[in-house]
């Protein structure tokens, strides 16, 4: 489909094709799983603060619902497209299946630069988007969550808009909400905490003490900042972090708590914190470190720069940060890759906990949530590692093949309707 033809979607399909070929997947299923089950494109007229009306474009894509409601974030970003959203929805399908969650994959987004909108404009945009995708979402159909450019407040507006349409409060329609509306303890840092849990498993497998580990993190949003803080709390030395404008490097280690404090007061400028030497995002990727965490946007590690990476472990906090060309180079270099559908699955795992708590109207403690998250994500890591060593394939192919197989079995057992 021409509308889906983007770099990100081609990457997702190429990964799927590679895994499907290795699995000898039924060709009929292969064709079905390449394309989303349902795609919605919406026009969003929004009255701006100066009274003019601007029209934005929004998307919601459901890749698969064979194993349960679809699940996936909503991102607000100028580069959002149907192809990107469809790729992210596909990865969500494999991610949920790999973790053993009763979900299919979905994703949504609006093509907008959210920082250029006032709070009032952002609310009007969100409510209009929620109203337009209303027929597709619901606690038993499709459950959105925050992603790039969105947060708990955006989820609160979506939850309220949906609830106004049906006439009563429906907290389970979204996850990542404020605690006062049925949000879950531990949700905000869940993706970063999950990255740390699987990285610690990889360090144990490679017999590398975490106290000797150095960490570089590309991206200092929700995922990157929490990964940095929790890695330091676990005993690792965080030597570099970056955001869209560049980053900082300190070979002796950054004080992440102080960095976060200064980052917030310095207008979200890492360089203005004056806690390290200024570096570019490209320089950060090439630092000599134990663990590299790409936690920004997709396709950051390519065939052009993969040879220059000097990490021992690549823990993919972002979705699709590594191209297939780069994969082959890194594998030849002996880099241990923790693929995105495993490494960053902590967010959807705790979103699942939030959804369960909302449906039951029974909430858990933060300690319970952290223990349950660790149990599920480390179990998924060990299963993937076992599959990888047994089949003599990469961790990425092991994760993809395992997730795809769960979905394929569901389709085969349900049969084809009509």
Q: Give the pLDDT confidence of 136-145 residue by residue, as tens digits.
A: 999 999 999 9
The tokens for 261 are: 């404090």
| pLDDT tier at 3, thresholds 50, 70, 90 | confident
Please list, residue by residue across 104-128, b when 16 or more beta carbons sit within 10 angstroms of its beta carbon and e when fewer do.
Answer: bbbbbbbbbebeebeeebbbbbbbb
How far apart (Å, rounded) are the C-alpha atoms in residues 289 and 216? 7
CA-only gyration radius of the chain, Å = 21
The tokens for 134 are: 């209303």
- pLDDT digits 0-9 by tens, 73-85: 999 999 999 999 9
Share of the chain above pLDDT 70, in %: 100
pLDDT at site 1: 63
Q: Quick one: fold of 27-181?
A: Rossmann fold (3.40.50)
- pLDDT digits 0-9 by tens, 211-255: 999 999 999 999 999 999 999 999 999 999 999 889 999 999 999
Q: Quick one: fold of 190-343?
A: Rossmann fold (3.40.50)
Does residue 107 carry a catalytic annotation? yes
Share of the chain above pLDDT 90, in %: 95
Catalytic pick among 107, 111, 115, 252: 107
pLDDT at site 268: 81
Classified as helix, coil or strand, 144 is strand
User: For the chain, what are the domain ranges?
Assistant: 27-181, 190-343
Model pTM score: 0.95
How far apart (Å, rounded) are the C-alpha atoms in residues 92 and 295? 16
Q: What is the mean pLDDT of residues 46-61?
A: 98
Does 396 score more than 90 pLDDT? yes
How far apart (Å, rounded) are the C-alpha atoms in residues 218 and 250? 14
Same fold, 27-181 and 190-343: yes
Does 265 score more than 90 pLDDT? no
Picking from 298, 218, 317, 294, the residue whose alpha carbon sits closest to that of residue 8 is 298
Q: Residues for the chain: how many in total?
A: 418
Q: What are phi and psi of 136, to 5 degrees?
A: -95, -25
Average pLDDT, the chain: 96
């Amino acid at each position: 489909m021409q509308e889906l033809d983007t770099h990100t979607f081609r990457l997702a399909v190429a990964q799927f094709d590679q895994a499907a070929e290795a699995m000898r997947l039924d060709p009929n299923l292969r064709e079905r799983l390449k394309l989303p089950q349902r795609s919605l494109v919406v026009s969003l007229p929004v009255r701006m603060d100066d009274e003019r009306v601007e029209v934005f474009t929004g998307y919601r894509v459901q890749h698969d619902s064979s194993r349960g409601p679809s699940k996936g974030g909503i991102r607000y970003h100028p580069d959002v497209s149907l192809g990107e959203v469809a790729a992210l929805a596909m990865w969500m399908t494999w991610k949920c299946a790999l973790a053993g969650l009763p979900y299919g994959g979905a994703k949504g987004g609006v093509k907008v630069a959210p920082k250029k909108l006032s709070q009032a404009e952002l609310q009007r945009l969100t409510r209009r988007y929620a109203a337009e995708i209303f027929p597709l979402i619901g606690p038993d159909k499709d459950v959105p969550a925050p992603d790039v450019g969105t947060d708990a407040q955006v989820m609160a507006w979506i939850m309220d808009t949906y609830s106004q349409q049906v006439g009563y409060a429906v907290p389970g329609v979204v996850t990542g909400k404020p605690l006062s509306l049925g949000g879950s303890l531990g949700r905000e840092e869940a993706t970063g905490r999950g990255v740390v849990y699987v990285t610690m498993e990889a360090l144990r497998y490679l017999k590398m003490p975490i106290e000797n580990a150095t960490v570089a993190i590309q991206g200092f949003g929700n995922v990157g900042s929490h990964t940095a803080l929790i890695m330091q709390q676990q005993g690792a030395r965080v030597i570099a972090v970056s955001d869209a404008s560049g980053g900082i490097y300190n070979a002796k280690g950054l004080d992440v708590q102080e960095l976060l404090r200064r980052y917030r007061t310095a207008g979200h400028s890492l360089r203005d914190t004056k806690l390290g030497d200024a570096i570019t995002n490209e320089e950060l990727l090439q630092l000599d470190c134990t663990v590299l965490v790409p936690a920004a946007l997709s396709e950051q590690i390519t065939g052009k720069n993969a040879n220059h990476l000097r990490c021992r472990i690549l823990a993919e906090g972002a979705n699709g940060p590594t191209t297939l060309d780069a994969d082959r180079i890194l594998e030849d270099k002996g880099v241990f890759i923790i693929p995105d559908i495993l490494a960053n699955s902590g967010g959807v795992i705790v979103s699942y906990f939030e959804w369960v708590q909302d449906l039951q109207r029974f909430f858990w403690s933060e300690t319970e949530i952290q223990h349950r998250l660790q149990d599920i994500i480390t179990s998924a890591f060990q299963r993937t590692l076992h599959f990888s060593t047994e089949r003599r394939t990469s961790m990425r192919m092991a994760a993809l093949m395992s997730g795809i197989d769960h979905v394929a079995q569901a389709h085969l057992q349900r049969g084809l309707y009509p």
